[in-house]
Structure 1
């Protein structure tokens, strides 16, 4: 799937959620999607949690 197709599908899901269930359900679904994206990137090894935690604590730079 291309990035455009995935983006259109995500947009459709969020729009239908807003129309069917309202703003708060839309917000919850959007946050759940972001959380799922973060978990997937950690599992794939694209995000180093230890390095991120150290950078947020100021113990090292993110570069």
Structure 2
């Protein structure tokens, strides 16, 4: 995105939020992210199923 923005091929708008951000950069991040998303689901702040079954491919 940085290169596209510098070359004027894309516009980027940064949104602020008070919510926790989860990113998986390294394999070691996975358990932490899974636990965080599980907590969001259990608290009702995130859906159990994000996409309809028809969209998910194996």
Sort the TM-score into its range (normalised by shorter chain).
0.3 to 0.5
Q: Tell me the TM-score normalised to structure 1 length.
A: 0.37
Structure 1 or 2: more helix by fraction: 1
Q: Tell me the TM-score normalised to structure 2 length.
A: 0.39
